[in-house]
Amino acid sequence: MFSVLSYGRLVARAVLGGLSQTDSRDYSLVTASCGFGKDFRKGILKKGMCYGDDACFVARHRSADVLGKCWWGGWRDYGVDPSQFSGTLMRTCERLVKEGRFVPSNPVGILTAGYCELLQNKVPLLGSSTACIVVLDRTSHRLHTANLGDSGFLVVRGGEVVHRSDEQQHYFNTPFQLSIAPPEAEGVVLSDSPDAADSTSFDVQLGDIILTATDGLFDNMPDYMILQELKKLKNSNYESIQQTARSIAEQAHELAYDPTYMSPFAQFACDNGLNVRGGKPDDITVLLSIVAEYTD
């Protein structure tokens, strides 16, 4: 029978053993991007990182790596270029990160600050956008995310999805969104608060794969197809990640224009009582990251 003192020694050894195994290394994200505008301009970037009307950014700060992406269309009937809103929002968020004006555990704060700057413009920048912000805290090894609408992310470990975003829809094909509407459209255009974003935190490990993308990917490729492509990723060097990101984006782009393919979007439409088949032509943006040891 153990004495209290012996039991205490065993507990102390277990605690010290656990502490000795704690990973004290800082983590970072090795990230590559690829995308396609639905007007077939393959991989062509506009100002900043924009594929079609999609926009994204990758920013590095001493405390964290931050990814962001957003998209929206449907404003051309008002004479508005929808890429201006999404592009400006992402560039603003990127600047805030690089200036250190953010808290890694609060990605909603980045989105809120960026959106507020757009609202304060003397000349209103009209448009709307879904948005997703992903932050890796280097020291805590936690992934903090904020997702508003139907873009999203996956965390893949050992060939399986271990964490993912939840899609936010008001109703079929009408995602949550940030908006600045012209006077004639006020009260008609949906506008959600950045605080409505779905927020999560998740502990990551070295080698975890993080795929962040707009709905142009997820509407055209189910998880099993994405996981098949990710199996091609053999190491964490940038060239390998870039090649895999391009392979995923290219396959999604091809499926988007296949009229006989039962895409995830078509299946969702059928579930909502619509007779739809085929892919969903759309802008596609893919940010593909691997969690690696931080090197300054």
Dihedral-angle region of residue 158 (phi above 0 means left; psi in -120 to 50 means alpha; beta otherwise): left
pLDDT above 90 (res 155): yes
The residue that leads in pLDDT, 96 or 43, is: 96
Q: What single-letter DSSP state applies at residue 30?
A: E
Closest CA to 31 of 70, 65, 71: 65
CA 84 to the chain's CA centroid:
19
Q: Mind spelling out the 3-state secondary structure of 126-183? A: CEEEEEEEEEEECCCCEEEEEEECCCEEEEEECCEEEEECCCCEEECCEECCEEECCH
Instruction: Please state the φ and ψ torsions of residue 255, each to the nearest 5 degrees.
Output: -65, -30
C-alpha dihedral (134, 137, 142, 143), degrees to nearest 10: 10
**Geometric angle at alpha carbon 169, from 163 and 173, rounded to 5°:** 115
pLDDT above 90 (res 148): yes
Count other Cβ atoms within 10 Å, centred on residue 245.
Answer: 24
pLDDT of residue 48: 54
Cα–Cα distances in angstroms (integers) from residue 113 to residues 106, 158, 273, in the given order:
11, 36, 39
pLDDT above 90 (res 278): yes
3-state secondary structure of 106: coil
3-state secondary structure of 225: helix
CATH ID of 27-293, from 3.40.50.2000, 2.60.120.10, 3.40.50.300, 3.60.40.10: 3.60.40.10
Mean pLDDT, the chain, rounded, equals: 89
Q: Mind spelling out the 3-state secondary structure of 40-71? A: CCECCCCCCEEECCEEEEEEEECCEEEEEEEE
Q: How far apart are the C-alpha atoms of 202 and 11, rounded to whole Å?
A: 28
- Domain chopping of the chain, boundaries: 27-293
Kindly report, residue by residue over 195-232, the tens digit of the pLDDT: 999 999 999 999 999 999 999 999 999 999 999 999 99
Instruction: Please state the φ and ψ torsions of residue 110, each to the nearest 5 degrees.
Output: -65, -45
Instruction: Please state the φ and ψ torsions of residue 40, each to the nearest 5 degrees.
Output: 75, 10
